[in-house]
Amino acid sequence: MKAAVMHEFGPPEVLRYEDVPDPVVGRGEVLLRVRSVSVNRTHCLRVRSGEYFPGLPLPHVLGVDPAGTVEAVGDGVHVWKRGDRVVVHHAIACGACEACRAGEGEYCDRQRQIGIHRWGGYAEYVSVPAQNVHPVPEGLTFPEATVVVRHAPLAFALARRAELRAGEWALVMGAAGALGGFVVQVAKLVGAHVIAAASSDERAAAARECGADIAVNYRAEDLLEAVLRVTEGRGVDVVFENVGDRALWPKSFGSLGFRGRLVTAGAHAGGRVELDLGRLYHRLQRIIASPRSSLADIERTLAESRAGRIRSVRIDRVLPLAEAAVGHRLLQERQVIGKVVLEPPAP
């Protein structure tokens, strides 16, 4: 089969489109004919560069979120059959540690990830545990299914951990990104009022497409002033801070009102910021970490997608798998708004 393979860590050009052996489907596994897989900043770009999981054995095939059709099933798999349209969630729980026994497999001590600890979906075929396979909601294309199941479950987890309620105000940082776009949708689904923060007018427009009530281009106007104006000086109840930009942090944290909650699942801009502890405790505020999603979040995503209440964020472009390096370069240089999706050759 063909795959985009990395034999070394480095720039996008280390991804080489070449022939590799077909995967073998093991017991309890599903062999997937890949129809789509996306380019992700953390699980693709940072892994490829060697910044994330630098001890990864090489050669390696990336791709945490493939969608496609079932080609074959291993022994013990009775739920799926050849031809089923499915999408993969990347996190593999051990099922035996304390977190798994408590029903919190997302915090498994020995969690492994498709596309990192084992070869992923940057290939024509990939073999994955049957427990990681979910049905593609009716009406979704394969690229849309890839994007929805990759990011929407975490958006639901963030809203749940932040205890976001109807009628509250929420500020979404990085709202034009994939996770940010789904956070906007989930917050509106809850019944919250949403202020979206973005770095350009075009990105602000993308956030409005997802349902944001107000979108602020923080390079054109002061974000904190805009938030306080909209909320009549109160500030917001919840800040979804998945950027971690040192320069923007005073604006996002400063937007948090009395008893406000700041929830985070990312730090693409670095993550090291200065925290005003006095403001935090005097205003009874909370900072909450929520890096992973649960099976319940995935199931909620699928249900809301089937009902038409959650839809894919903008897919900037779909490229052939042979151009994986191009997709990485585009995302790395911030030349896209939304997602880049790769497609292997059609069957």
What's the CA angle centered on 283, arms 281 and 284, to 5 degrees? 60
Q: Which residues contact 7 (CB under 8 A, 6 or more apart)?
A: 14, 16, 58, 59
Q: Which residues contact 240 (CB under 8 A, 6 or more apart)?
A: 158, 162, 170, 171, 172, 173, 180, 183, 187, 263, 264
Q: For residue 49, what pLDDT is reported?
A: 94
Neighbours of 52 (CB within 10 A): 15
Q: For residue 242, what pLDDT is reported?
A: 87
Q: What pTM does this model have?
A: 0.94
| Average pLDDT of adjacent 10-residue blocks, the chain of 347 residues | 98 98 97 98 92 92 98 96 97 89 86 95 98 95 97 96 98 94 98 97 96 97 97 98 87 96 82 86 90 89 95 96 98 94 93
Amino acid at 306: R
Structural contact between residues 306 and 137, judged by C-beta atoms closer than 8 angstroms:
yes
Q: Strand, helix or coil at 278? A: helix
Structural contact between residues 90 and 115, judged by C-beta atoms closer than 8 angstroms:
yes
Nearest residue to 309 via CA among 139, 84, 178 = 139
List, in order of start, the domains of the chain with CATH numbers: 2-140+312-343 (3.90.180.10), 152-289 (3.90.180.10)
